[in-house]
C-alpha cells in the first residue's frame, strides 16, 4: 500500500457546504498528492435536481488530475454510497479516508489520518482512525491521541482488514434487548443511547451505516484512534442534511461555536495501543455531557415552538 490513502468525498445536493469542504481539504498538504474519488449521489426527487446539478458543476470546475468524479445516475442514499465505495476502495487500495460534504478539516487532519493508517496497518486491534473528537476537558492540553472503543463518522479512515468485519446486518443486535450488560457496554457505560440508534436502524426507522459500523467495531472488540482535540467540524448541523435531527426546530437551537484550530502540526500518536481506564472515563463523561446538552437544546426548542407537552414527555 502507498503512503497516502485514497480520499473518498461524498456529496448530494449542498454545493455551498461542499465548497467549504473542498476549500479545507486543499489546505491539507497531502490532498494534492492523494488519489481523490468524489461521489455525487443522484436526486431522490425532482426538487433535488437543482442542488445535485450545482454540486456536479462545482466538482467539475474543481477537478484536478488526481481526482475522479463518480456521478450516480440514481439516488443510492448515503449509507449505500459509503458502504459500496469503502468496500471497493479498500479492496483495491487497502485503505481509505472518508469525508462527507459537510465536514471542514483542519490543515493537519490528513497528516493525522495517514499517520495512523500507516502506523497501525497490521494491528488487528485498531479498526479506525478518527479526525473527530468530542470536547473532553481532560484532553485539552494533551499532545498525543487516545484509543476508544467506538467508531466515529466525521472524517475517518480504515483498512480492508478492518472493513471486512463491517456487518451490514448487525448480527447479534438483539443481544441489546436480551442482555442489559451488553446494552450498557455498547452505550459507553450507559451514558449515550447507541443501542437505541441501532434498534431504530434494524426496525427500519433510520438508515445509518455509522451505527452498524460502531456495532461492528464493538462486537470485534476493536479500537478507534482519536485525536486529543477535534481536527474537523461539521457545518451540516443547520438542518440541511439528510440525517439532520432538528428539522424545523433548528432555528431555536444554539448554533455550535466555531472550532479554533490549535496549530498546524498533527497530534502525536500514542506510545502504545491500549485503552486506558482514566481516558475512557473522561471520554464517557464528555459523551454524557454531549447527550445531556443535546436533550436540553431539543427540549428548549420544543418549548419555544409551543410544543412544551412534547418537551415534558
Characterize 219-248 residue by residue with b for buried, 16 or more Cβ atoms within 10 angstroms of its Cβ, and e for exposed. Answer: beebbbbbbbbbbbbbbbbbebbeeeebee
Considering only 134-138, 226-230, 309-313, which range has the smallest mean pLDDT?
309-313
pTM, rounded to two decimals:
0.88
The position carrying cell 455531557 is: 289
C-alpha cell of 243?
440525517
How many whole angstroms separate alpha carbon 237 and alpha carbon 247? 10
Q: How far, in Å, CA of 174 to CA of 164, rounded?
A: 22
Do strands 103-105 and 126-130 pair parallel, antiparallel, or not at all (unpaired)? unpaired
Phi then psi for 100, rounded to 5 degrees?
A: -95, 165
CA atoms lying within 13 Å on the CB side of residue 232: 29
**pLDDT tens per residue, range 135-172:** 999 998 999 999 999 899 999 999 999 999 999 999 99
56: its cell numbers:
456536479
Q: How big, in percent rounded to 5, are the helix, strand and coil portions of the chain? A: 45, 15, 45
Question: N- to C-terminal Cα distance for the chain?
Answer: 53
> Comparing C-alpha atoms, which of 62, 83, 17 is closest to residue 233?
17
Taking CB atoms within 8 Å and a gap of at least 24, the contacts of 295-298 are: 297/253, 297/254, 298/246, 298/249, 298/253
Host H or E run for residue 49: helix 49-62
Q: What is the pLDDT of residue 265?
A: 84
On average, the pLDDT of the chain sits at 88
Where are the chain's structural domains? 7-165+220-311
pLDDT over 70 (residue 183)? yes
Instruction: Quote the CA–CA distance of 58 and 18 in Å, as a whole number.
Output: 8
R_g of the chain, CA atoms, integer Å: 19
Q: What is the pLDDT of residue 38?
A: 99
Q: Is the Cβ–Cβ distance between 21 and 38 less than 8 Å?
A: no
**DSSP structure class, residue 268:** B
- Residue 146 near residue 281 (C-beta atoms within 8 A): no
Find the helix or strand (DSSP H, E) in which 306 lies: none
Pairing label, strands 223-226, 103-105: unpaired
Is 7-165+220-311 a CATH 3.90.550.10 domain? yes
What average pLDDT score do residues 226-236 get?
93
Question: pLDDT at position 263, please?
Answer: 55
Q: Is the pLDDT of residue 206 over 80?
A: yes
For 285-310, write each residue's pLDDT tens digit: 998 887 776 654 555 554 555 654 44
pLDDT tens profile 26-72: 999 999 999 999 999 999 999 999 999 999 999 999 999 999 999 99
Residue 81, SS3 per DSSP? helix
pLDDT digits (tens, 9 = 90+) for 69-122: 999 999 999 999 999 999 999 999 999 999 999 999 999 999 999 999 999 999
Amino acid at each position: 500500500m502507498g503512503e497516502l490513502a485514497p480520499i473518498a468525498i461524498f456529496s448530494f445536493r449542498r454545493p455551498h457546504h461542499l465548497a467549504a469542504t473542498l476549500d479545507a481539504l486543499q489546505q491539507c498538504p497531502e490532498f494534492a498528492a492523494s488519489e481523490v474519488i468524489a461521489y455525487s449521489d443522484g436526486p431522490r426527487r425532482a426538487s433535488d435536481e437543482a442542488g445535485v446539478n450545482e454540486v456536479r458543476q462545482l466538482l467539475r470546475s474543481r477537478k484536478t488530475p488526481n481526482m475522479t468524479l463518480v456521478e450516480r445516475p440514481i439516488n443510492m442514499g448515503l449509507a449505500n454510497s459509503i458502504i459500496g465505495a469503502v468496500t471497493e476502495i479498500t479492496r483495491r487500495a487497502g485503505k481509505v479516508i472518508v469525508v462527507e460534504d459537510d465536514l471542514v478539516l483542519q490543515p493537519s487532519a490528513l497528516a493525522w489520518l495517514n499517520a495512523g493508517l500507516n502506523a497501525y496497518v497490521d494491528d488487528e486491534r485498531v479498526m479506525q482512525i478518527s479526525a473527530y473528537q468530542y470536547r473532553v476537558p481532560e484532553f485539552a492540553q494533551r499532545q498525543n491521541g487516545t484509543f476508544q472503543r467506538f467508531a466515529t463518522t466525521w472524517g475517518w479512515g480504515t483498512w480492508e482488514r478492518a472493513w471486512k468485519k463491517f456487518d451490514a446486518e448487525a448480527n447479534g443486535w438483539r443481544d441489546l434487548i436480551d442482555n442489559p450488560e451488553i446494552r450498557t457496554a455498547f452505550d459507553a457505560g450507559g451514558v449515550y443511547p447507541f443501542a437505541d440508534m441501532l434498534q431504530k436502524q434494524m426496525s427500519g426507522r433510520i438508515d445509518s451505516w455509522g451505527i452498524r459500523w460502531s456495532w461492528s467495531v464493538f462486537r470485534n472488540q476493536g479500537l478507534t484512534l482519536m485525536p486529543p482535540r477535534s481536527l474537523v467540524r461539521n457545518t451540516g448541523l443547520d438542518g440541511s442534511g439528510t440525517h439532520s435531527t432538528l428539522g424545523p426546530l433548528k432555528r431555536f437551537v444554539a448554533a455550535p461555536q466555531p472550532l479554533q484550530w490549535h496549530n498546524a502540526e498533527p497530534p502525536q500518536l500514542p506510545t502504545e495501543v491500549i485503552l486506558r481506564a482514566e481516558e475512557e472515563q473522561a471520554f464517557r463523561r464528555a459523551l454524557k455531557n454531549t447527550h445531556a446538552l443535546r436533550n436540553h437544546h431539543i427540549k428548549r426548542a420544543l418549548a419555544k415552538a409551543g410544543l412544551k407537552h412534547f418537551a415534558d414527555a
